[in-house]
Structure 1
Amino acid sequence: MAPVTAVSARLPVFPWDRLEPHKATATAHPGGIVDLSVGTPVDPVPEVIQRALAESSDTPGYPTVWGTPRLRDALVDWGTRRLGAPDLDHARVLPLVGSKEFVAWLPTQLGLGPGDRVAHPRLAYPTYEVGARLAGAEPVVYDDPTELDPTHLRLLWLNSPSNPTGQVLGAERLRAAVEWARRHGVLVVSDECYLELGWEAEPVSVLHPEVSGGSSEGLLAVHSLSKRSNLAGYRAAFVLGDAAVLAELLRVRKHGGMMVPAPVQAATVAALGDDAHVARQRERYARRRTALRAALEGAGFRVEHSEASLYLWATRDEPCWETVAALAGRGVLVAPGDFYGPAGERFVRVALTAPDERVEQAVHRLEG
């Protein structure tokens, strides 16, 4: 058991375990819990996707790690159409078994280890740090990536729209980060899983020519169908970009058997080919966002950033755990901002992922 202990010792405490007492408090509310702490979809999987999954259910053979040609065509077409990426082809796409596994294992699959450094935003999804630590590399945080010390820096994570803040980085800021990384030989990986959920700003991909200069060299963009298509349970995601990097990752992932199930590959093709369900889901989230934001502001909260994604980044200028406890007493569970780094210690993250009836309950309780 010593090796397992050695690995786990490098990792932080799983954040949501710390939230369990407050979840119990919220659950005990007479009207039941309104759980706004996790960004997990609650709305139905669109029928067009369910149908594609069912029609592909009789697939007894092993799928391929690279995906079917039909899936690769769909990834190329969507990336070209939606992201504006000018140079995509089959060599520049790779399906993933959900985006979280990719974030967690990318440094290891790239061969990073002790002595290497991995940079991520100061306020960030915890798995960026976890991925560095799993590889034995050093995680470092930044406010402005162009001010990082490039020494031994191998991987630079960008995240726009941000989880947890919903902040959107414009093309100029993204381009500056890309140009800096290319000068220093640092791979840029942009987590863009919320790109189709812009509200007060229009997110742009790192692969857009205004950012990339028309070339995917040194760039990867990670995307997921969990949020825009309600497919968290399918583990459907993909990465686009630098052909040489993806070729190496494909070789590694073949050895590891990291295969997206064949029915999920078919479902992904259907999801990427249908924009109507994305528009309908955006409308649902927009309604919930409007209602929750008004209720939070009416209850004395200030909402910062939050111009995109599935979250409201809110504060009433007190320690985040005090806010969590107070809201749990009203039966509303939110995520404390320090889950995403010490810089979030006076904020909470409020997810839009609850059914309409539960959101109405949260609004009523915030107004009460």
Structure 2
Amino acid sequence: MNPLLSRLQPYPFERLRRLFAGVTPNPDLRPISLGIGEPKHATPQMLKDALAAALDTGLTGYPATAGEPALRQACAAWMQRRYGVPVDAATQVLPVNGSREALFSFAQTVLDASKPGATLAFPNPFYQIYEGAALLGGAQPFYVPSVPARNFAVDWDSVPDEVWARTQLIFVCSPGNPTGAVMPLDEWQKLFELSDRHGFVIASDECYSEIYFRDEPPLGGLEAAVKLGRPDFKNLMMFTSLSKRSNVPGLRSGFVAGDAALIKSFLLYRTYHGGAMSPAVQAASVAAWGDEEHVIDNRRQYREKFAAVTPMLAEVLDVALPDAAFYLWAGVPASFEGKVAGLSADEAFARELLAQYNVTVLPGSYLARASGGTNPGAGRVRMALVAEPAECLEAAERIVRFCREQSR
């Protein structure tokens, strides 16, 4: 077996199952899960209709890894509408089977483990695919801390020069998972300058870009490049998906766009990897990328939920409305530290909340790694407000009661 497999860490939800082993949730309350970021809003009918219509003819041949021209053009047209960024559909766009698969395989395309100290850097806390991609690519992960006092901005200045010198790839996530923080233009400029100096590639994970709570939509990586006079997108690739935007995580459809040279190499890798998208999925994806009405309605639903739930939880937890995404990144009361032997405060909070109120949240320490002696997720929990409004409100009410009872 590949010895690098032994370096992989347990996935957060595996750790959560272990944490909850032996816990009997309150049987008088129906279970509500805020633990997994799986969209629950209805899938748009027009998308389902497009998928169904394509099934008759879409399964009889092998699809091209590069995707159909109609899909690449739909993706490029969306980039122009959403960001005002022109991309060449033939050379700067590539369909992928969801951003998760693409982020992982892109790292395998870029990383050169034959070079001593090959490093992949990414924010801490993070989406665990970043770490797995580094480890299975034979690289060293470098965990860059987020700063709560700066709205969880990633502290790129804390990365030593010797680490930048051996970095081959960085993952950025904006809007961030789990914090919801959006990277501003000056932060992009800093990363572009570092990339020019050290030669590393920037992979920008933007799968939450269409769920936001401010008037201004989140800045995208390619958009930032154009604003800063980098229309060739040198050493830059953005990743996006229909999963959150269009409520179709089971469709496994997204695309990457950026540096044409990177696209060419990634396409070569994917041709051998078997990364072609089903023609039926491509047809549904064309319909989805071409429609904004369902996206606007989806965003409205999230805004209404967060407007109702966030003030309630802010009475008992350290939490505020994020810039974007569908998570609340909440600090738990200090009284939970040391409450249960052998557990961190966020673990104790999650375990006791399940037992007493049958609500599942994810301990923040499971989404981060200790770096410099500190786990930046410790003392926080991630809550995914993906369910229907009534269910999210009921979960919030239970959490408020739980916290108030614990403080007596």
TM, length-normalised to structure 2 = 0.85
Deviation at 1:129, TM superposition (A): 0.8
Does residue 1:82 correspond to 2:82, yes or no?
Answer: yes
3-state SS in 2 of match to 1:101 = helix
Match of 1:61 in 2: 61
Query: Equivalents in 1 of 2:119, 2:186: separation in Å?
Result: 25
| Mean Cα deviation higher: 17-26 or 238-247 | 17-26
Match of 2:393 in 1: 360
> Which of these residues, 114, 122, 125, is aligned with residue 124 of structure 2?
122
Does residue 1:327 correspond to 2:353, yes or no?
Answer: yes
Match of 1:243 in 2: 260
Aligned residues of 1:207 and 1:215 also touching (Cα < 8 A): no
Match of 1:93 in 2: 93
1:215-230 superposed matches below 5 A: 215-230=232-247
**Using a 3 Å threshold, how does the CA distance of structure 1 residues 264 and 69 change in structure 2: closer, same or farther?**
same
Match of 2:186 in 1: 172
Aligned residues of 2:34 and 2:383 also touching (Cα < 8 A): yes
Residue-by-residue CA offset, 1:105-163 (whole Å, 9 max, x unaligned)? 22212243253110101221111111000111111122433553322211011111100
TM, length-normalised to structure 1 = 0.93
Q: Which runs of 5+ in 1 are unaligned?
A: none
**Using a 3 Å threshold, how does the CA distance of structure 1 residues 185 and 147 change in structure 2: closer, same or farther?**
farther
Does residue 1:49 correspond to 2:16, yes or no?
Answer: no
Match of 2:363 in 1: 336
Query: Equivalents in 1 of 2:82, 2:271: separation in Å?
Result: 28
Residue-by-residue CA offset, 1:318-366 (whole Å, 9 max, x unaligned)? 4211221232121111111112212111111111111233213213313
1:177-216 superposed matches below 5 A: 177-200=191-214, 202-208=217-223, 209-211=226-228, 213-216=230-233
Residue-by-residue CA offset, 1:171-192 (whole Å, 9 max, x unaligned)? 1211221222122211111111
Query: Equivalents in 2 of 1:11, 1:291: separation in Å?
Result: 39
Residue-by-residue CA offset, 1:235-259 (whole Å, 9 max, x unaligned)? 0111100000110110111112111
1:304-315 superposed matches below 5 A: 304=320, 306-315=322-331
Aligned length: 364
Query: Equivalents in 2 of 1:338, 1:176: separation in Å?
Result: 28
Query: Equivalents in 1 of 2:398, 2:14: separation in Å?
Result: 25
The one-letter code sitting in structure 1 at the alignment partner of 2:101 is: E
**Using a 3 Å threshold, how does the CA distance of structure 1 residues 100 and 212 change in structure 2: closer, same or farther?**
farther
Residue-by-residue CA offset, 1:242-294 (whole Å, 9 max, x unaligned)? 00011011011111211111111111111110000001111111122122212
Query: Equivalents in 2 of 1:254, 1:241: separation in Å?
Result: 18
Match of 2:311 in 1: 294
Aligned residues of 1:337 and 1:344 also touching (Cα < 8 A): yes
Aligned residues of 2:314 and 2:320 also touching (Cα < 8 A): no
3-state SS in 2 of match to 1:362 = helix
Deviation at 1:27, TM superposition (A): 5.1
**Using a 3 Å threshold, how does the CA distance of structure 1 residues 305 and 128 change in structure 2: closer, same or farther?**
farther
Match of 2:71 in 1: 71
Deviation at 1:29, TM superposition (A): 3.6
Deviation at 1:169, TM superposition (A): 1.2
Match of 2:319 in 1: 303
**Using a 3 Å threshold, how does the CA distance of structure 1 residues 128 and 304 change in structure 2: closer, same or farther?**
farther
| Mean Cα deviation higher: 224-233 or 354-363 | 354-363
Aligned residues of 1:336 and 1:349 also touching (Cα < 8 A): yes
**Using a 3 Å threshold, how does the CA distance of structure 1 residues 26 and 110 change in structure 2: closer, same or farther?**
farther
**Using a 3 Å threshold, how does the CA distance of structure 1 residues 321 and 83 change in structure 2: closer, same or farther?**
same
Match of 1:155 in 2: 169
3-state SS in 1 of match to 2:221 = coil
3-state SS in 1 of match to 2:295 = helix
Residue-by-residue CA offset, 1:280-316 (whole Å, 9 max, x unaligned)? 1111111221222122113x10115722111011013
Aligned residues of 2:332 and 2:381 also touching (Cα < 8 A): no
3-state SS in 1 of match to 2:91 = helix
RMSD, aligned α-carbons: 1.9
Match of 2:406 in 1: none
